């Protein structure tokens, strides 16, 4: 019985607990419903929040609101303004170039007709057909000279396929489609239009995250609307450039210094050496090279200085061309080369082919070569310099003096009777001497006496112009060398004026030729008249200039007669 009573009590207790739990649950449910109903009532009624703001805080808030409103209005009013428009053609495809200005910042925009998805699919199909049907040898891929033939083969095949698939296509549309295929398969895609623009000096690809930048002759550094899709695309462009000159760029050899088939200089650096991403820098060279007439007209150099350089080159004097980066050293050296007589043998030595001499000159251009991945096959500038002395050159042209051994061989060539022209990085004549006589070049000071003229070039970054800063000669005195400045640039006049009389140049000319000072002055006067006659008659092509020089060395009296009578160039 006792057990039964205990069991009944336990059941009653559990029932009471269960009832309490149910009541609590019901209470919570009812409270939840009540709060929900109240919240719905509050939402239905619009409530105005009133916040008291102190006067000073209120004033500041109003000022901030007005400033933000002004900014927003400024943003809405800011528009790109087109300040110049012109067309650029590459492989029969024409793109419109718009130079725009937004808030004082210029942008270079390449505009081309947009292709529909159907047209893109057609091009992909034609591309696959060309790849499968056109047979290309490895020699054609690696030989820069075979590029034109390869382009012609691709062009003809692409035209056939497009005409077959779209029989009634217009000529202009056909050229557009074939040209786009050519740029994508054999070129650098939209970069081809930048290479074809004669107003650009530099093209820089920094990474896929940044737009391609260009250095415009008129607007300086500007961004373009070209952004590459991926880092792999930049690597592909680097490989295309490398293959054309028989080189390669890999993760083991991530640096490339080469030239394009157009003659432009290209430099590429792969990630992670370039920490932002894969980088390509292309320095463009004029398709129509600068000549004496051009540099006199744009006030880079005077006729007096050109006459002096002509005299030095005619009588095989040694000249160094100095200047900072992008000051125009190589360009000026190239301009002076037509002064060399046509029957003299010229050997040029460069890391990257930059010189463009007239076809009438007897010229053998040599370039260095980097080693292969195994470290074999390298050809250095020193190798070429030593080898050039065995080629019986009359003139040796060296791209740039960088190292001691190269400089020693070069100066040895000067002392053995070869006429040498070279460039060196230095901003003044005194700095040229300092660079040559100190590490890493460290040429003994007494060897500098072999240099007869030093032409120093200068780039005014503010005005964007290049000028001859100094024309000097080196005076060696025991273990010390000092420059004697013959001409110097006056920024106030924007003119190069005579500074001091020559102390040894004319004596060297007289010693080599037997000419008196009067005869040298007369010769300089004749050269100056010829140069000014060329400027007056706008004789500026490199081939035209070469013809004038040929006539001077073959029949000087005839040329002087034409100049004195002021005849036109076409008249003889």
pLDDT digits (tens, 9 = 90+) for 278-315: 999 999 988 788 999 999 999 999 999 999 999 999 99
Q: Give the tens place of pLDDT for each residue, 166-219.
A: 888 888 888 888 888 888 888 899 999 999 999 999 999 999 999 999 999 899
Tokens linked to 335: 């301009």
Tokens linked to 76: 């809405």
**What pLDDT sits at residue 92?**
86
Contact between 331 and 467 (Cβ < 8 Å): no
Confidence of residue 6 (pLDDT cuts 50, 70, 90): low
**What pLDDT sits at residue 325?**
87
**What pLDDT sits at residue 135?**
73
**What pLDDT sits at residue 29?**
75
**What pLDDT sits at residue 497?**
95
**What pLDDT sits at residue 457?**
97
Q: Using CA atoms, how far apart are residues 198 and 290, in angstroms rounded to an integer? A: 13
Contact between 57 and 65 (Cβ < 8 Å): no
Give the SS3 label for residue 262.
coil
Confidence of residue 274 (pLDDT cuts 50, 70, 90): very high
Q: Which of 45-54, 287-296, 312-321 has the lowest mean pLDDT?
A: 45-54
Q: What is the DSSP letter of 446?
A: G
At residue 259, does pLDDT exceed 50? yes
Q: Give the tens place of pLDDT for each residue, 103-160.
A: 889 999 999 888 888 888 888 888 888 888 877 766 666 666 677 778 888 888 888 8
At residue 336, does pLDDT exceed 80? yes
| Sequence-distant contacts of 527-533: CB under 8 A, at least 24 apart | 527/306, 527/307, 527/310, 527/311, 528/303, 528/304, 528/306, 528/307, 529/560, 529/563, 529/564, 530/559, 530/560, 530/563, 531/292, 531/296, 531/303, 531/306, 531/307, 531/310, 532/303, 533/562, 533/563, 533/566
Percentage, residues of the chain above pLDDT 70 = 87
Instruction: Specify the CATH architecture of the domain 292-571.
Output: 3-Layer(aba) Sandwich (3.40)
Cα Rg for the chain, rounded, in angstroms? Answer: 37
Q: What is the largest CA-CA distance in the chain?
A: 154
Q: Which of 25-29, 33-37, 334-338 has the lowest mean pLDDT?
A: 33-37
Q: Which of 339, 295, 334 is nearest to 313 (CA)?
A: 339
The three-point CA angle 396-401-402 to 5° equals 150
Q: Using CA atoms, how far apart are residues 509 and 106, in angstroms rounded to an integer? A: 52
Give me the residues paired with residue 216 across strands: 200, 220
Confidence of residue 15 (pLDDT cuts 50, 70, 90): low
Percentage, residues of the chain above pLDDT 90 = 52
Q: Using CA atoms, how far apart are residues 479 and 342, in angstroms rounded to an integer? A: 39
Domain ranges across the chain: 113-188, 190-285, 292-571
User: How many other C-beta atoms lie within 10 A of the C-beta of residue 221?
Assistant: 12
Q: Using CA atoms, how far apart are residues 512 and 558, in angstroms rounded to an integer? A: 26
Q: Give the tens place of pLDDT for each residue, 447-485.
A: 899 999 999 999 988 888 999 999 999 998 878 899 999
CATH 3.30.450.370 fits 190-285, yes or no: yes
Q: What is the DSSP letter of 113?
A: P
């Amino acid at each position: 019985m006792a057990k039964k009573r205990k069991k009944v009590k336990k059941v009653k207790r559990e029932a009471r607990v269960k009832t309490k739990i149910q009541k609590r649950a019901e209470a919570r449910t009812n409270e939840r419903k009540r709060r929900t109903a109240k919240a719905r009532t509050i939402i239905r009624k619009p409530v105005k929040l009133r916040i008291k703001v102190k006067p000073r805080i209120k004033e500041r808030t109003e000022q901030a609101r007005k400033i933000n409103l002004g900014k927003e209005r400024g943003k809405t009013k800011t528009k790109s303004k087109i300040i110049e428009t012109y067309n650029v053609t590459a492989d029969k495809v024409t793109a419109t170039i718009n130079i725009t200005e937004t808030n004082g910042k210029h942008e270079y925009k390449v505009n081309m007709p947009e292709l529909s998805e159907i047209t893109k699919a057609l091009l992909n199909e034609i591309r696959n057909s060309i790849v499968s049907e056109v047979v290309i040898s490895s020699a054609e891929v690696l030989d820069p000279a075979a590029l034109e033939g390869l382009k012609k083969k691709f062009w003809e095949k692409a035209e056939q396929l497009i005409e077959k698939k779209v029989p009634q296509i217009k000529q202009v549309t056909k050229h557009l489609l074939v040209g786009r295929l050519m740029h994508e398969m054999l070129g650098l895609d939209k970069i081809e239009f930048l290479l074809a623009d004669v107003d650009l000096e530099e093209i820089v690809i920094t990474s896929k995250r940044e737009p391609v930048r260009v250095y415009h002759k008129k607007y300086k550094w500007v961004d373009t609307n070209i952004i590459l899709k991926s880092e792999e695309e930049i690597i592909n462009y680097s490989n295309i450039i490398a293959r054309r000159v028989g080189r390669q760029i890999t993760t083991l050899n991530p640096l490339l210094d080469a030239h394009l088939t157009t003659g432009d200089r290209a430099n590429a650096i792969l990630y992670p050496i370039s920490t932002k991403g894969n980088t390509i820098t292309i320095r463009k060279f004029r398709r129509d090279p600068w000549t004496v007439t051009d540099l006199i007209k744009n006030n880079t150099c005077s006729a007096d200085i050109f006459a002096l350089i002509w005299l030095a080159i005619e009588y095989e004097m040694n000249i160094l061309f100095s200047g900072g980066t992008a000051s125009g050293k190589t360009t000026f050296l190239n301009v002076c080369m037509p002064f060399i007589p046509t029957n003299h043998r010229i050997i040029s030595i460069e890391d990257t082919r930059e010189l463009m001499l007239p076809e009438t000159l007897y010229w053998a251009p040599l370039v260095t070569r980097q080693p292969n991945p195994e470290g074999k096959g390298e050809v250095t500038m020193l190798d070429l310099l030593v080898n050039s002395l065995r080629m019986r050159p009359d003139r040796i042209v060296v791209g740039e003096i960088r190292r001691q051994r190269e400089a020693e061989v070069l100066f040895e060539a000067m002392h053995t009777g070869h006429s040498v022209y070279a460039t060196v990085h230095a901003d003044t004549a005194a700095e040229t001497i300092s660079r040559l006589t100190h590490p890493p070049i460290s040429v003994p000071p007494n060897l500098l006496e072999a240099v007869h003229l030093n032409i120093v070039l200068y780039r005014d970054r503010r005005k964007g112009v290049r000028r001859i800063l100094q024309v000097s000669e080196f005076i060696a005195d025991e273990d010390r060398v000092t420059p004697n400045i013959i001409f110097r640039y006056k920024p106030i006049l924007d003119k190069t004026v005579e500074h001091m009389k020559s102390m040894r140049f004319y004596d060297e000319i007289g010693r080599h030729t037997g000419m008196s000072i009067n005869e040298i002055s007369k010769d300089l006067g004749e050269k100056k008249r010829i140069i000014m006659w060329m400027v007056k008659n706008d004789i500026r092509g490199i081939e035209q200039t070469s013809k004038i020089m040929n006539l001077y060395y073959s029949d000087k009296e005839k040329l002087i007669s034409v100049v004195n009578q002021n005849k036109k160039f076409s008249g003889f």
